[in-house]
Amino acid sequence: MKRHYFSLLVLVFLFACSRPIIPALHETAPSASVSYCGLLHVQPIDRPEMEPKPYLGIYMAPKKLEQSMQACAEGHFIQAAGIIKGSPAWKAGIKIDDVVLSLGGNAICGDAGHIIPSFKKAIEKQQAGTPVTLEVLRGEEKISLTVVLERRPIHEQPEAEHPGIDKCSGRVSLLEQALRNQDAVPVFFDIVDGLRIRSMVVHNPGSDPEKGPHPLQSNEVTYLMRHPLLANVVARELSERLSSSFGDRNWKGSDMLLRASALLDIAVRPAASPAEANFPALLLVMEETKKRIDDALKNLTPGEKDLLREKTFDPADDDEWNRVLEISLKVDRSKMLNALAPLFTFLTHDNLAQLKKDLSSRFGNIDKPILSETMTAFGKVIVGGTRSNAYAEDAALILDLGGDDLYLNNAGGTRPGMPLSIVIDWGGDDRYLGKENFSQGAGLLGTGVLIDLGGNDTFISRDGSQGAGFWGLGFLYHGAGKAAFSARKFSQGTGQMGAGILISAGRDDRYLCSYGGQGLGLFGGVGILIDQTGDDLYQLGGLEPDFRDPQRSTQSYGQGFGLGARPDKEKNGVPGGIGMLIDRQGDDTYIADYFSQGASYYYGLGILDDRSGNDQYLSGRYSQGAGLHSSVGALVDRGGNDFYYSSFGVGQGMGHDFGAGVLEDSGGDDQYQGGTLVQGAATSGGLGIFLDPWGADLLSHTGSGQGQADDETGMGIMISPGRPGHAPVVTIGRGKD
């Protein structure tokens, strides 16, 4: 855990906490939300429909050749690391490890950092359908091949619906006026059209499952890639839908189930409320739910289930990756989530209060450790009294009426043969110490639920825990009191082929996770972390070094992150899920490193929405509102005097490789420090938006940024405070005609 970047972040944190408050010199925002119509809306213009650009169909890697083999000072060429089946390269006879020396008679060489994007641009400038000559080096032999480039295959992907969200009157926004002044409206729509085309690409050309729209590409991601200026507006809307489910004391589990499922483009049919919220009714609904979960998984063989259990974590690094994806598509997510409707209809604040009364009446004297222990059709059921208990053995259902308890078992985590597990604890200062993965409200090929309704509690577990769902659903709810959560990997609101949800209504919580979590959406999944109140600490990372700088950086993947897998060589690609971290109140601190804080990767959607407070955001790279490789990331902070630090950069409202990233801070006097490509920056067809139009802000960076496009194909937009009494200033780094 103790890597160099943590020392750096701690120093920055100490600086941030001791910084003076800037006097309010400028106007404040006229309302709690930033006006999309007044700031960002750009009226569409009539344009010819853009078609996909040509592609060759190889996975590229830079290759340095000996001087005797080439006449290029930089010395790096393109090597075919893999060939896409059915592509122009495959038809032309290009083989793995071939090195491309020239295209149409023009040499292909450059430095290692730019040769791949340079070659992609050279391909895209060719005419589709026209033969072009490639000279390749195969071993030590130079070969001339003729390839007929084709347009990259696409298919129509459905998009989400947000009726009226982009309807504005005839008023011209500040961004549109700035684009007009720079004659950059056509360039802007070139970029938007490029994002739209990317929203429809075939992820794995030549693959049978992709003869139609990809079933795991989120409709929300598709919508936002086509309407990138609405990323922060949609982020707010989705956040409101989710957090309102648990916004009052009479919360309803069914609301969260329906709204989380909707993010997966799955409609869950509401179930009828139970006639009575008592012990027999809960046993009956659990027995029925277990049968329905088994039915949802009936397409899988025992061997396939074992493989998914074995390869849950980082299967993309394994030779079984394609097999894992194939099996995953056999899981009926709709049937799985609909199976849970009666159970989550039972799980409401009021029903659990009635259930507690029923247990007290049913078992009489509850001032003792264990009131009942029985075996049922779905597993062991334990009812604990108000004395302190230690639960060591796994159970399908534990109902504990109070006391300072110790949970050394699954604590609402599924196990083989036990696809449904629930813990409900009504009070006490409890300790949850998980010795195995998939514990404490975790569903692996099933559903795990942990509800702790009060007390100062501690949750410590390993991987895939604390509100984590894999080919199923995991749910952890913590009520009043302080909570400390600590886990290793893929925990604290992580979803893959299902949903992982962690909600805490207590004050001053601590969330520690070493890799992957705190609102992480993996393929086919939604990961949600909602904290209702208090001054909270979120720390993520420290376990997995990043290859770009392994001595000083680690990968985080979370704090509102949607993560997909790009196709590579013999491994299929898959769109990412939706990751959301929502903090409703308090002065909060977010510490992470690479890939975090309202960011995304490959057709994922990452959202971090902080509603209020003086907050600190500390990160390394690819963070704080960054959309990377055809994805969308949004960090929204709705008020307070905030501090943002991104050591390397590539964040703070940044879009890379047809990605869209936005950072919106809608109030307060803020400070921003970053490395390169920050504060409204873009590269390679991306769109980056930095939106902080009000307050007395201080901004600095060490490289490029602040309305900067790193090449001719992207656009960086920065909207920052103007002089007192004047409109905000719009800075645009534009792609060139």
> pLDDT class for 632, splitting at 50, 70, 90?
very high
- Residue 12: band (very low, low, confident or very high) from pLDDT cuts 50, 70, 90: very low
**Cβ-based neighbour number of residue 480 at 10 Å:** 18
Q: What CA–CA distance (Å, rounded) separates 31 from 37? A: 13
Q: How much is the pLDDT for 244?
A: 86
The mean of the pLDDT values for the chain is 91
Angstrom distance (rounded) from CA 367 to CA 370: 9
| pTM of the predicted protein model | 0.93
What is the pLDDT confidence band of residue 527, given thresholds at 50, 70 and 90? very high
Report which of 496, 489, 412, 493 is spatially closest to residue 447, judged by C-alpha positions.
412
Q: How confident is the model at residue 29 (pLDDT cuts 50, 70, 90)?
A: very low
* Contacts (Cβ under 8 Å, ≥6 apart) of 30: none
663-682 as b/e: b if 16+ CB within 10 A: bbbbbbbbbbbbbbbbbbbb
Q: What does each C-alpha distance from 629 to 564, 602, 670, 692 come to in angstroms?
A: 10, 5, 29, 25
The 10s digit of each residue's pLDDT in 195-223 is 999 999 999 987 766 778 999 999 999 99
- The pLDDT of residue 30 is 44
Residue range 487-506: mean pLDDT, rounded: 97
Question: What is the band of 420 on the pLDDT scale with cuts at 50, 70, 90?
Answer: very high
- Residue 212: C-alpha distances to residues 150, 219, 646 (Å): 19, 15, 40
CB 437 within 8 A of CB 466: no
> Does the pLDDT at position 26 exceed 70?
no
User: Per-residue pLDDT averaged across 105-124, rounded?
Assistant: 85
Confidence of residue 23 (pLDDT cuts 50, 70, 90): very low
Cα of first residue to Cα of last residue in the chain, in angstroms, is: 48
Say if residue 588's pLDDT is above 50: yes
Q: Which helix (H) or strand (E) holds 442?
A: strand 442-444
Which candidate, 542, 682, 666, places its Cα nearest to that of 626?
Answer: 682
- In which residue ranges of the chain is CATH 2.30.42.10 found? 55-151
CA separation for the pair 559, 609 (Å, rounded) = 10
Q: Please give the pLDDT value at position 69.
A: 53
What's the pLDDT at 735? 65
Q: What is the mean pLDDT of residues 572-577?
A: 96
Q: What is the pLDDT of residues 402-415, one digit of tens each?
A: 999 999 999 999 99
Given a cut of 50, whether residue 19 has pLDDT beyond it is no
Q: What is the average pLDDT across 667-688?
A: 96
Query: What integer is the mean pLDDT of 333-344?
Result: 98
Region 285-294: mean pLDDT is 98
Above 80 in pLDDT, residue 258? yes
CATH dotted code for 55-151:
2.30.42.10
What confidence category does residue 380 fall into, taking pLDDT thresholds of 50, 70 and 90?
A: very high
Q: What is the pLDDT of residues 139-164, one digit of tens each?
A: 989 999 999 999 989 999 999 999 99
* Mean pLDDT for the stretch of residues 626-641: 97
For residue 336, what pLDDT band results from cuts at 50, 70 and 90? very high
Query: CA nearest 470: which of 311, 237, 261?
Result: 311
**Strands 626-628 vs 599-601: parallel, antiparallel or unpaired:** parallel
Q: Which residue has the higher pLDDT, 419 or 111?
A: 419
Convert the pLDDT of each residue in 359-375 to its tens digit. 999 999 999 999 999 99
The token pair at 543 is: 């376990």
pLDDT tens-digit series, residues 686-734:
999 999 999 999 999 999 999 999 888 899 999 999 888 788 999 999 8
